[in-house]
Amino acid sequence: MIRNTVISVHNLVKKFGKFIANDHLNFEVYEGEIFGFLGANGAGKTTAIRILSGLSAPTSGEVIVAGFNAKKQPEKIKKSIGYMCQKFSLYEDLTVRENIMLYGGIYGMSKKEIRERTKSLLVRLHYEAYGDRLIASLPLGLRQKLAFSVAVLHEPRIVFLDEPTGGVDPITRRQFWEMIYETAARGITVFVTTHYMDEAEYCDRVSIMSEGRIVALDTPAGLKDQYHSESVEEVFIKITRPGKN
Amino acid sequence: MPADCLISARHVSKSFGAINALNDLSFNVREGEIFGFIGPDGAGKTTLFRIITTLLLPDEGEMTIMGLDIRNGFRELRKNIGYMPGRFSLYLDLSVGENLNFYATVFGTTVRENYELIRDIYSHIEPFEKRLAGKLSGGMKQKLALSCALIHKPALLVLDEPTTGVDAASRSEFWEMLKKLRPYNITIIVSTPYMDEAMKCDRVALIQEGKILSIDEPEKIRDGFSRKLFSIRASDKYKLIVALRAFPGTVTAYPFGDSVHVTFKGDGLENSVYEYLSQTGLKDVIIQETRAGIEDRFLELME
């Protein structure tokens, strides 16, 4: 099967002074794929995500995201992607509707389009009753699902999710993943980081970073085979703590 | 109240305005055990821990720790409690060594006196003793915070979400460190949103929206799962979930790692679900009965 590549990274290096945060990363991500981007704390994931989303330029190497060069066309990349993280996504002192309008406006959608998408989004999530509530007043799980919907409001090519399910209850966590599956089935690529190793098993492919490098990249089943492990968690520990096994 | 009871909580409630953070909690924590409060953000774990550490008073209910009432025994209690809050709370502009000395001094002891207790943990950061706490990596901050919480050899160690946001390998190392404290007979209460960490505790309370759903040894909590549980795999997981939800005999279908955990309305539906899934075009269907984990039971209790 030939798949369209939406992210292609060749020899990406990012240095901060003498510190090498990303050390010759090479990988591709395909259209409609759920790509799990794992690694130990401090392995360089956040640095790489900032480059992939056009927020930071690579020191060297070629990074193409949604057809645009991360060094030369970062603004075009920003328009082609969505982003959500656990810590901040929606403005707490704005209502649900105001947040959607704000993000729709930032992404250059027309008022009519925003109105229509707002309505269908609230219906799809069964959140019609919450439209005029302040974000601050909503439970965490509801907020996170809403933040994800807003991140894909403008139908981006790729959505980056940085620990989207941290701390949410087990039912919401699963509902969230079903939203991810639906989104990927629509052709939007989902690029996700998580510390829940069972969630790594939900991805089509998973990469594991350690000390600035991608040490392994395969399907969850492929990784388990290769590292003779029962779970991705076991693979993760073998890779990030090589001395212990 | 059992004789070896270190904490006894009876009908503890706490509200903040209209929010019932804790709703009628009762539990005992035994001396020397590792007791886990397992639940998502907003369950009330931090509020409860602030009451246990005498930083906050409950609106209703009674709590005694080491036989002392939290309302009028707090001065004595504070000498015996080590607390590691969820947010890193040491002095960022003091060095590693200065922070540790500070905490030892405040509690009227010295680093040397109780060094044995923290040796395993502190030895990892000792080479960086002169570095400012604000300049440490996440893992090193965590080790320093744990050392500072332990340096006065408390009877009770309170750890609020020590592993949140920490990668899987560092999490497992943190639990190893706690296990090494066993010989010192320190009672440890710890909260976590990671359900799998329940298995590392002697006993756990599952907590959700300010209520305790269940308290027991982790294995017994798993045994509390009331229905037969099946683990189902197929080539396309999303299609599998959608198909299982549409199957009339399905009660619950939740993704779990590389499979979907499913319960059915009656016994003996395994064969018909196999046929049904094959008819929907799913390939490599495997159905196995499986034992419920803590998270399965948590999901069941949430229903």
Q: Cite the DSSP H helix spans in chain A.
A: 45-52, 74-80, 96-106, 111-124, 140-151, 170-185, 197-200, 220-226, 232-240
Task: Say yes or no: ipTM exceeds 0.95.
Answer: no
The answer to whether the Cβ–Cβ distance between B169 and A236 falls below 8 Å is yes
Domain ends where: B163, B195, B223?
A: B223
Pair B33, B158 in one domain: yes
CATH of the domain at A180: 3.40.50.300
Percentage above 90 pLDDT, chain A: 82
pTM of the shown model:
0.91
Contacts of B238 in chain A (CB under 8 A): 178, 181-182, 184-185
User: Per-residue pLDDT for A2 more than 70?
Assistant: no
Whether A195 has its CB under 8 Å from any CB of chain B: the answer is yes
Contacts of A242 in chain B (CB under 8 A): none
Low-confidence ranges of chain B (pLDDT < 50): none
Let me know how long chain A is. Answer: 245
Pair B256, B236 in one domain: yes
* Average pLDDT of span A129-153: 91
Return all residues near A185 (Cβ < 8 A) that are at least 6 apart.
Answer: A32, B238
pLDDT of residue A222: 96
Instruction: Choose among A170, A185, A231: nearest Cβ to B295.
Output: A170
Pair B98, B212 in one domain: yes
User: Per-residue pLDDT for A133 more than 70?
Assistant: yes
Contacts of A220 in chain B (CB under 8 A): 258
The answer to whether the Cβ–Cβ distance between B193 and A39 falls below 8 Å is no
Contact B12, B63 (CB under 8 A): yes
Query: Which of B16, B41, B209 should we substitute to test contact with A (largest number of A Cβ atoms within 10 Å)?
Result: B41
Whether B166 has its CB under 8 Å from any CB of chain A: the answer is yes
Pair B148, B193 in one domain: yes
CATH of the domain at B292: 3.30.70
Whether B193 has its CB under 8 Å from any CB of chain A: the answer is yes
Domain that holds residue B43: 5-223
Domain that holds residue A215: 5-244
User: Per-residue pLDDT for A245 more than 70?
Assistant: no
Instruction: Choose among A40, A139, A170: nearest Cβ to B169.
Output: A40
Pair B117, B181 in one domain: yes
Q: What is the DSSP letter of A163?
A: S
φ, ψ for residue B176, nearest 5 deg:
-60, -40
A72 to chain B, closest Cα gap in Å: 33
Pair B60, B160 in one domain: yes
CB-neighbour burial class of residue B184 (10 A; exposed 0-12, middle 13-18, buried 19+)? middle
* Average pLDDT of span A49-60: 96
Contact A191, A161 (CB under 8 A): yes
State the total domains in chain B: 2
B270 to chain A, closest Cα gap in Å: 23
pLDDT of residue B40: 93
Whether B230 has its CB under 8 Å from any CB of chain A: the answer is no
Pair B21, B139 in one domain: yes
Q: What is the 3-state secondary structure (H, E, C) of A15-56?
A: EECCEEEEEEEEEEEECCCEEEEEECCCCCHHHHHHHHCCCC
For the segment B80-139, what is each residue's pLDDT rounded down to a tens digit?
A: 999 999 888 899 999 999 999 999 999 999 999 999 999 999 999 999 999 999 999 888
- Give CA–CA dist B249/B260, Å, rounded: 15
pLDDT of residue B1: 63
In the sheet that B211-216 helps form, which strands lie side by side, from edge to edge? B81-84, B156-159, B187-192, B34-38, B203-208, B211-216
The string over A191-210, giving b where at least 16 C-beta atoms fall within 10 Å of a residue's C-beta and e elsewhere, is bbbbbbbbbbbbbbbbbbbb
Pair B165, B213 in one domain: yes
The answer to whether the Cβ–Cβ distance between A170 and B237 falls below 8 Å is no
Pair B216, B237 in one domain: no
Pair B191, B236 in one domain: no
Pair B213, B295 in one domain: no
Pair B133, B250 in one domain: no
Instruction: Choose among B165, B255, B256: nearest Cβ to A166.
Output: B165
- Give CA–CA dist B73/A118, Å, rounded: 55
A90 to chain B, closest Cα gap in Å: 17
For strand A5-16 and strand A60-65, is the pairing parallel, antiparallel, or unpaired?
A: antiparallel
For the segment A74-122, what is each residue's pLDDT rounded down to a tens digit?
A: 999 999 999 998 776 799 999 999 999 999 999 999 999 999 999 999 9
Contacts of B168 in chain A (CB under 8 A): 195, 197, 233, 236-237
State the total domains in chain A: 1
For the segment A181-218, what is each residue's pLDDT rounded down to a tens digit?
A: 999 999 999 999 999 999 999 999 999 999 999 999 99
Domain ends where: B223, B255, B290?
A: B223
pLDDT of residue B149: 97
Residue whose token pair is 């707002």: A118
Domain ends where: B223, B238, B273?
A: B223
